[in-house]
Amino acid sequence: MKIVSWFLAAVITLSLAFSVSANPKRIGYIVNYGTHEWYQNVIFGLQSRADELGIELEVMDANLDINKQTQQAEDFMTKGVDVLMMTPVNEEGVVPILRKAKADGTPVVLEGNPAKGMTTLFAICDYDAGFKAGDAVGRILVSRGESEARVMDVGLPLLSATVLRSLGFMEALAQHVNAVKVHELDGSGMIDSSVEVASAALAADSNINVIYGINDGSALGGLQAWRAAGLPEDDLVVAGTGSEGLAFLNEMTKEGTPYLVEAAMFPEGVGYTGMNLAVDLFNGVDVPEHKVTPTLALTVHNFAKYYDFDKAGQKRAINFENVANIPTETKCTKYASDL
Amino acid sequence: MSKFFQKNETILFLILLLLLVFLSFYNPQFYSIQNINSILRSSSTVMIVAFGMTILLTSGEVDLSVGALLSFVTVIVMDVINISGSLFLGFFSVFIFCFLIGLINGLVRTVLNVNSLIGTLAMMLILQGSVYIYSMAAIYNTHLIPAFTFIGQGFVYNVPMPVIIMLVILPIFVFLLNYTRYGRYFTAIGSNPFSSNLSGINNNRYKLIGFIITSLLVGIAGIILASLMDTGQQGSAKGFELIVIAAVLLGGTSFKGGSGTILGTILGILILKVIDNGIILMSIPQEFQLVVPGVILILAVYFDTLRKEKNG
Amino acid sequence: MDNNFKSLTLKNIKKEFPGVLALDDVSLEAKAGSVHALMGENGAGKSTLIKILAGAYNKDQGRILFDDKEVNIDNPNDSLNLGIKVVYQEIALIPEFTVGENIFLEKFPVNSLGIVNWKKLYNDCNNLLKKIGFNLNVREKVANLSISEQQIVEIARAIFQNASVVVMDEPTSSLTPNEIEKLFEVIENLKKNNIAIIYITHKIDEIFKIANEVTVLRDGKLISHRDIKDTSEEILIQDMVGRKVEQKFDRPVKSFDKVLMNINNISTKSKLKDISFNLYKGEILGFFGLMGAGRTELAKAIYGYDNISNGSIDIDGQTLKKFNTQTMVKNGVGYVTEDRKGEGIIKDMNLRENMSLPSLEIFEKLFTINKNKEKKISNEYIDKFEVKTPSSERLITLLSGGNQQKILLSRWLIRNLKIIILDEPTRGVDIGAKTEILRLINDLAKDGLSVILMTSEMNDLLTLSDRIIVMAGGKISKEFDRNEATQEEIFKASVI
C-alpha cells in the first residue's frame, strides 16, 4: 500500500494555495443531518480551516430531506458561492444538483458518499477503520494470552458503510486469533436499541469476550447491556467506531473500563481535509477522485496525542497537526462494491 | 375482580403461553434467568408508561408525545445531575418538566378542544425539535453516582431494578382502575362522555389528570432509560409511543375509549416483548420486529371487535 | 315524469315493534296532483309510515298499490325506483357541490368519453327549476344556500329522479314565513306537474293553505280521513288528542307552598327565550311541547349541560348564574335523558356500575369503593323496581329499554335528591314498564321529591302533573293548573 503523508499533502496544497493566492472567498456546505454529533464535528473542522484561510463558510442542514437539499444547493448557487460542499442525502438524489452545478460553473466537493458525475469526494475508509480497531483488539487479546475472540457485533446490516466496518474488524481480528462472530445484531446505530438487542443476545449466549460497535452508540449500548446483565468485565474488550463525540472519551477514561479501543475517524479532521480539498478544486489543482481522511485505532494510551479532553467541562479539542500526521491510504482496501 | 379476568385477557394469556412454549422448543436458553430478566427489563419502561396510556385510552384520549418526552427526559436528568451532583434535583426537574408537558397536552385537549391525536402529535414534534435546542450533543454520565447507575442496571436478589420499580407502580394503577371511583370515571368518560357529564362528572378534569399522570410516568421511565444507557441521548426511544399504544390496544383497551384493563396491557406488552426477544434469539431479520407485532395488533383488534359484536 | 301516474295507496298497513303496535290497520291514498296532509302527535305513527314508504322499515301486514298494481318495497332502492322521494328535515345534500351537481348527482350528462357536459347540466338544471317555479343560481354551492333553498334543491332532485310521490316531513319547521310562502308556491307547481304529495306537519294553519285532504293518526291507528273542506281546526285537534285519560293515579289536587327552585329569565343562544317558572317541593311539573318547542333544550340548560346566555336559577336560597352539571348534582338535582342510548347508559358498564356512577362517594371507604355495599344497594333497587335481570353484574346493553330506564332512574334515587328532571321517561318503553315508571314517579313526588316531567304523552302528562307548562318555539306559551287543563287546550297552546 502506498502511503502518502496527509500532512505533507496539506502543506503542499497550502503553499500552492498561497503562491496562487487566490483562495475562494465564500464556501457553502449542505450537511445531510446536522443534529448528529459526527456532523457537528465535521462542521467544526471545516470552520476551523476556513477561519485559518479567511474563507467565509455558510452551512445549511438538509435534515435528511433530498428536496430540501436540492433547494439549498440552488440557493447557494444563486448566492454565488465559490465552492459548493455537500454530504448527499442520497446518492441518486444529488445527481441533478451535480449536473446543474456543472452548467452553472460551480465546483462541487462531496463528503461521505460518492455520486455519479462527481468531481471529488473526501471520506473515511470504513473497512480500514474497522480493520485498525480489529488489529488493536487482536493485539490486546494476544497479550492476554487468549487464542479466541468471541465477538458480539452490534452492527447496522442495512448500510454498506457499517457492514464494511464490521468486516474490516473481523478480518483484522482473524489475523491474530481465532475470530468467531457469536452475535450479529442490528442496534440501529442507537444506544437504546443497542442495549435492547444486546441484552437479548447476551441472555441467549453470554460467552463473549469482544464487543464491537459500528459507532459509539452501538458500542456503548453493547457495553451497557453487558453491565445490566451483571456480567464480569475483567476479560472483556469493547471497541467502538467513529470518535463522533465525547462518548468514547468519557468511557475510555473510566477506571477499569473494558472499552479499550476506538476506531477513530476524526470528524474534525474530515472537515479540515475537506476544506483543503475545496480550496484545491477552486484553484484548479489536480484533485483525487477520493481523498481519504485519516483513521486510527485510539486507546487510553494514545488518545491524548489527538484529543485534548476536558472531562469536567465536557469538551474536546482536536490536535489538527497530529491528526494530519497520521499516515493515510490513497485508496480504501474495500468498497461497498466489493461486498 | 370482574375486570381482572375477562375473556380478552384469557385469549392474550393463551397467546403468550403458546409463544413461550414455541420459543422454549426452539431455544432452551429462552428460560434462562438472564433471558427472562432481559425481557422483563426491557418491558418495564414500556409498562410504566403504558399504565398511564391505559388510563388515557380508556377515557378516549391518546398521547403520542411519550416517546419524544422519554428521550428529552434522559437528556434533562443526566444534565441536571451532572451539573448539580444531586439525584434529587435531577429527578425533581424531570418531574416538573413532565408535569408541565402533561398539563399542556391536557389543556390543549380540554381548553383548546384540539383532538389529542393531533395535539400530542404536535407536542411530539415540538419535543423532538426542542431537545436539540436544549443541547446539541448527547449528555454523558460524568457525575458517576453509583445510585444512579443502579436504577437502570442494578439487581435486587437477581431481579433487575427497573422491574422492581415497575412492580412498585403496578399495584397503584390496578388499585386506581379497579377499586377507586376514578377508575370508573375514566371508563365512563371514554365509554359515553355525554352520559358521564350528565352524571355530574367533570370530564375535562379527569382527562387533564390522565395526561399529567402519563407524562409523569414517562419521567420515571426516562430516568430508568438514562441510567440504562448511561447517557442522555436525543433521538433515543424512537417509535416508543407506537409500541406503548400497540401494546395497550393489544391488551384489549379500545381506541374509542370505555374499556381497558391493566392486566390486559401487561399481557399485551409481554407478548410484544417476547416476540421481539424470539426474533433476536432466532436471528430472524430484525425488520420483523415491526412486522409481526403489526400483524398481531390487527388480528387482536379484529377479534376484539368480533367479541364485542357478539355481546351485542 | 310519469304523467300517467294516478295514485299510491297504502292499505291496512300493520307494523309492530317489540311491545309497541306502531301502525295498526292504517290506510292512506296519495293522489297525483294533490296534497295529502298527515297529522298526529309525537309517536302517533307518522314516521313509521314514512319509513315503510321509504323502504327503511318493512311492513308486517298490508298492501301497497301503485296505480292499482300491488308493489313491494323491501329496501330504499325499491322505493326510489317506484318514484317515491322523501324530503327529510335533515338535508342530505353535499354542501361543497353546486346546486346543479347535487341535483344531477346520480346521472351527470356525459359524452362518449365520460366527460361531463357542464353546459348541458346547468341548462337542464335551470329548466328543471323553472318547471317548479323557482329561481336559483344553479352554479351556487349548496353550503351557501338558506335552509329553504336547500329544501327546494332536494325537491328538484326528487323531480329529476322522476318522482311520482314526494313526502315532506315537517318541511317548514326551520323556515321563516317568507320562505314558507315560497315553498308553498313550489308545492302548487308540483301539483300542476301531476305529482302526489304527502305532507307531514304539526302546524294546522298550513294544512288549510295547501292540503286537499287530511289524515289523522293517533297511537298507530287511523282516526280520521277527511276532505279539507269538511274539517276545521277544532275537529283536527279533537281527532289528534281525543282519547280518554286511561290511567288514574292517586294524585289529588293540592296546593304547594314551599318553592324549591326559581328559574329566572333563562335564555340560550340557540333556542330558549326568556323562560321563568317556579318549582315547588313535592310537585310534579309537567312540560308539553311538540317537536322543536325547546323542551329538551330547557332541561339541559337548567341542568347545566348547555350554557345559558342569560338568566339565573335559585335553588335553596342561593342564586346560580354560571353552573355546570357538577353544580347541579351537588345541589341535589338529577337528570334522566330522552336519549337513553346516546346520553344515558354507559355501554361498557354493568347495571351496578351504571347505577352508582354519580354517587360513588357514598360507597367510598378510604378511597376504595365498597363493592359489597354497592351490590347490596343496587340489588335493592333491582328488586324494588322489578328490573328483569339475573344479576347486578350484567352488562346494561343486554337489558330491554324499560329495564335500562329503571336503572337510569335508580342512578339518581340512590343519592340524596331534591329535584329530578325527566325527559320523555317512557319513550321506547313497553306498556308494562311504562305503568311501573309512571307509578314510581308519582310515589317519588309523594315522598317530597320535585319532578320536572317532560313528555309528549298527553295521557301521562294529565294524570301525573300538578301543573302543566306548554312550550312552543323556545318560549312558554301557557301554564295550566291540574284541574283546569284539558287535552284540547294544551294542544292548542302548543301549536301557536
Which among B195, B200, B258 has CB closest to C326?
A: B200
DSSP label at residue B284 = -
**Residue B222, min C-alpha distance to chain A (Å):** 11
Tell me the DSSP string of B146-208.
Answer: HHHHHHHH-EETTEEHHHHHHHHHHHHHHHHHHHSHHHHHHHHHHH-HHHHHHTT--HHHHHH
List the Cα angle C230/C232/C236 in 5-degree steps.
Answer: 105
Axis-axis angle for helices A66-79, A95-104 (nearest 10): 10
Chain B environment of C349 (Cβ under 8 Å): 184, 187-188, 191
* Contact criterion met (CB < 8 Å) for B138 and A206: no
Q: What is the mean pLDDT of residues C239-255?
A: 68
Query: Which pLDDT score is estimated for B312?
Result: 46
Residue C178 has pLDDT above 70, yes or no: yes
Residue identified by cell 318553592 is C259
The residue ranges of DSSP E strands in A114-252, in sequence order, are 120-123, 148-155, 178-186, 210-213, 237-242
- Strand C419-423 vs strand C333-336: parallel, antiparallel, or unpaired? parallel
- Cα nearest neighbour of A187 on chain B: B286
**Residue A198, min C-alpha distance to chain B (Å):** 9
* Contact criterion met (CB < 8 Å) for A228 and B141: no
Q: Which of B143, B130, B147 is nearest to B73 (CA)?
A: B130
* Contact criterion met (CB < 8 Å) for B196 and C398: no
**Residue C287, min C-alpha distance to chain B (Å):** 20
Which residues are CB-contacts of B163 (< 8 A; sequence separation ≥ 6)? B37, B40, B41, B44
Length of chain A: 339
pLDDT band with cut points at 50, 70 and 90 for residue A2: very low
Residue B307 has pLDDT above 70, yes or no: no
Residue B259 lies inside a defined structural domain of this protein: no
What kind and span of H or E run contains C61?
Answer: strand C61-66
Q: What is the mean pLDDT of chain A?
A: 88
Residue B151 lies inside a defined structural domain of this protein: yes
- pLDDT per position as a tens digit, C216-233: 988 888 888 999 988 888
Residue B290 lies inside a defined structural domain of this protein: no
Query: Which pLDDT score is estimated for B311?
Result: 55
The residue type found at C153 is: V
CB proximity under 8 Å: A 53-82 to B: none
**Residue C254, min C-alpha distance to chain B (Å):** 32
| Residue A23 vs residue C210, higher pLDDT | C210
pLDDT band with cut points at 50, 70 and 90 for residue C486: confident
Q: Which of B192, B195, B304 to mutate to test the interface with C (most CBs of C within 10 A)?
A: B195
- Cα nearest neighbour of C325 on chain B: B200
Query: Which pLDDT score is estimated for C1?
Result: 43
- Domains along chain A with CATH numbers: 2-124+267-293 (3.40.50.2300), 126-264+330-338 (3.40.50.2300)
pLDDT band with cut points at 50, 70 and 90 for residue A11: low
| Residue B218 vs residue C130, higher pLDDT | B218
Query: Which pLDDT score is estimated for C252?
Result: 74
Show which subunits contact B, needing at least 3 CB pairs below 8 angstroms.
Answer: A, C
Residue C344 has pLDDT above 50, yes or no: yes
**Above 0.90 for ipTM, yes or no?**
no
Q: How many CB atoms lie within 10 A of CB B311?
A: 11
Which residues are CB-contacts of C82 (< 8 A; sequence separation ≥ 6)? C8, C66, C71, C73, C164, C165
Query: Which pLDDT score is estimated for B176?
Result: 92
Residue C276 has pLDDT above 80, yes or no: yes
Query: Which pLDDT score is estimated for B7?
Result: 66
- pLDDT per position as a tens digit, B25-61: 877 777 888 888 889 998 999 999 999 999 999 999 9
Chain A environment of B153 (Cβ under 8 Å): 224, 227-228
- pLDDT per position as a tens digit, C2-31: 467 888 999 999 988 776 788 888 999 999
Q: What is the mean pLDDT of residues C296-323?
A: 90
* Contact criterion met (CB < 8 Å) for B235 and A35: yes
- C/A Cβ contact: 3+ pairs below 8 Å: no
Query: Which pLDDT score is estimated for B150?
Result: 94
List the Cα angle C22/C23/C24 in 5-degree steps.
Answer: 125
Give the Cα separation of B185 and B178 in Å (integer). Answer: 11
Alpha-helical runs (H) found in chain B: 7-26, 33-58, 66-84, 87-110, 116-134, 146-153, 161-179, 181-191, 193-198, 203-229, 240-250, 262-281, 288-310
* Contact criterion met (CB < 8 Å) for A228 and B160: yes
Which among B2, B180, B190 has CB closest to C369?
A: B180
Instruction: Tell me which residues of chain B have a C-beta less than 8 Å from any C-beta of chain A.
Output: 27, 29, 32, 34-39, 41-42, 82, 132, 136-142, 144, 152-153, 155, 160, 225, 228-231, 233-238, 276-277, 280-281, 283, 286
Q: Which of A258, A295, A246 is nearest to A131 (CA)?
A: A295
- Cα nearest neighbour of C396 on chain B: B312
Give the Cα separation of C92 and C94 in Å (integer). Answer: 7
Q: What is the mean pLDDT of residues A177-193?
A: 91
Query: Which pLDDT score is estimated for A132?
Result: 94
- B/C Cβ contact: 3+ pairs below 8 Å: yes
pLDDT band with cut points at 50, 70 and 90 for residue A3: low
Residue A4 has pLDDT above 60, yes or no: no
Residue B53 lies inside a defined structural domain of this protein: yes
Residue B300 lies inside a defined structural domain of this protein: no
C-alpha cell at B130: 426542542
- pLDDT per position as a tens digit, B204-229: 999 999 999 999 999 999 999 999 99
Residue A1 has pLDDT above 50, yes or no: no
Q: Is C75 helix (H, G, I), strand (E, B) or coil?
A: coil
Chain A environment of B152 (Cβ under 8 Å): 228
* Contact criterion met (CB < 8 Å) for B258 and C348: yes
Give the Cα separation of C371 and A146 in Å (integer). Answer: 67
Q: Which of C305, C367, C310 is nearest to C336 (CA)?
A: C305
Query: Is residue A197 a contact partner of residue A219, using CB atoms and an 8 Å limit?
Result: no
- pLDDT per position as a tens digit, C285-307: 999 987 778 888 899 999 999 88
Residue B302 has pLDDT above 50, yes or no: yes
Which among A192, A206, A246 has CB closest to B233?
A: A192
Give the Cα separation of C97 and C106 in Å (integer). Answer: 13
Residue identified by cell 352524571 is B199
Which among B38, B39, B137 has CB closest to A245?
A: B137
Give the sign of the dihedral formed by CA B129, CA B133, CA B138, CA B142. negative
Which residues are CB-contacts of C273 (< 8 A; sequence separation ≥ 6)? C267, C473, C474, C475
- Cα nearest neighbour of C326 on chain B: B200
Q: How many CB atoms lie within 10 A of CB A289?
A: 10
Residue B92 lies inside a defined structural domain of this protein: yes
Which residues are CB-contacts of A143 (< 8 A; sequence separation ≥ 6)? none
Give the Cα separation of A140 and B66 in Å (integer). Answer: 43
pLDDT band with cut points at 50, 70 and 90 for residue B22: confident
Query: Which pLDDT score is estimated for C271?
Result: 82
* Contact criterion met (CB < 8 Å) for B198 and C337: yes
- pLDDT per position as a tens digit, C40-65: 876 788 888 988 988 888 888 899 98
Q: Which of A191, A254, A257, A310 to mutate to test the interface with B (most CBs of B within 10 A)?
A: A191
Identify the top-confidence range among A29-38, A258-267, C169-178, C188-197.
A258-267
Give the Cα separation of B246 and B251 in Å (integer). Answer: 8
Residue C243 has pLDDT above 70, yes or no: no
Query: Which pLDDT score is estimated for B1?
Result: 37
**Residue A267, min C-alpha distance to chain B (Å):** 14
* Contact criterion met (CB < 8 Å) for B181 and C364: yes
Which among B198, B200, B202 has CB closest to C343?
A: B198
* Contact criterion met (CB < 8 Å) for B195 and C344: yes
Query: Which pLDDT score is estimated for B5?
Result: 45
**Residue A105, min C-alpha distance to chain B (Å):** 35
Identify the top-confidence range among A16-20, C254-258, C349-353.
C349-353
List the single range of A22-31, B67-76, C483-492 with lowest mean pLDDT: C483-492
In chain B, the number of structural domains is 1
List the single range of B108-122, C129-143, C275-289, C448-462 with lowest mean pLDDT: C129-143
C-alpha Rg value of chain C to the nearest Å? 25
Which among C344, C348, C393 has CB closest to B2?
A: C393
* Contact criterion met (CB < 8 Å) for C305 and B197: yes
A317 touches chain B (CB under 8 A): no
Which residues are CB-contacts of C255 (< 8 A; sequence separation ≥ 6)? none
Phi, psi of B239 (to 5 degrees): 75, 5
- pLDDT per position as a tens digit, C74-99: 888 888 888 888 887 767 788 888 88
Residue C236 has pLDDT above 70, yes or no: yes
The residue type found at C250 is: D
Query: Is residue B123 a contact partner of residue B71, using CB atoms and an 8 Å limit?
Result: no
Q: What is the mean pLDDT of chain C?
A: 85
Instruction: Tell me which residues of chain C have a C-beta less than 8 Å from any C-beta of chain B.
Output: 303, 305, 324-326, 328-330, 335, 337, 342-350, 353, 356-358, 360-361, 364, 367-369, 393, 395, 397-398, 411
Residue C360 has pLDDT above 80, yes or no: yes
- pLDDT per position as a tens digit, A43-81: 999 999 999 999 999 999 998 888 999 999 999 999 889
Residue B145 lies inside a defined structural domain of this protein: yes
Which among C330, C347, C358 has CB closest to B192?
A: C347
List the single range of B4-13, B98-107, B182-191, B242-251 with lowest mean pLDDT: B4-13
C-alpha cell at C161: 329522479
Q: How many CA atoms lie within 13 A of C315 on its CB side?
A: 18
Query: Is residue A95 a contact partner of residue A115, using CB atoms and an 8 Å limit?
Result: yes
- Cα nearest neighbour of A196 on chain B: B42
Query: Is residue A262 a contact partner of residue A255, using CB atoms and an 8 Å limit?
Result: no
**Residue B207, min C-alpha distance to chain C (Å):** 16
pLDDT band with cut points at 50, 70 and 90 for residue C160: confident
**Residue C368, min C-alpha distance to chain B (Å):** 5
Domain span at B229: 37-237
DSSP label at residue C343 = I
Q: Which of B145, B286, B291 to mutate to test the interface with A (most CBs of A within 10 A)?
A: B286
Query: Is residue B295 a contact partner of residue B308, using CB atoms and an 8 Å limit?
Result: no
- Cα nearest neighbour of A220 on chain B: B229
Calculate the alpha carbon distances from C163 to B256, C37, C113, C142, C195 in Å: 41, 18, 29, 21, 7
* Contact criterion met (CB < 8 Å) for B153 and A195: no
DSSP label at residue C45 = S
Query: Is residue C108 a contact partner of residue C65, using CB atoms and an 8 Å limit?
Result: no
Query: Is residue C274 a contact partner of residue C267, using CB atoms and an 8 Å limit?
Result: yes
- pLDDT per position as a tens digit, A196-242: 899 989 988 889 999 999 999 999 999 999 999 889 999 999 999 98
Q: What is the mean pLDDT of residues C385-393?
A: 85
Query: Is residue A212 a contact partner of residue A219, using CB atoms and an 8 Å limit?
Result: yes
The residue type found at B50 is: A
Query: Which pLDDT score is estimated for C400?
Result: 79
Query: Which pLDDT score is estimated for A173?
Result: 94
Bridge partners for C266 per DSSP: C275
Residue B283 lies inside a defined structural domain of this protein: no
Q: Which of B4, B57, B181 to mutate to test the interface with C (most CBs of C within 10 A)?
A: B181
Query: Which pLDDT score is estimated for C246?
Result: 56
Calculate the alpha carbon distances from B103 to B34, B76, B96, B210 in Å: 39, 18, 10, 10
Give the Cα separation of B84 and C411 in Å (integer). Answer: 55
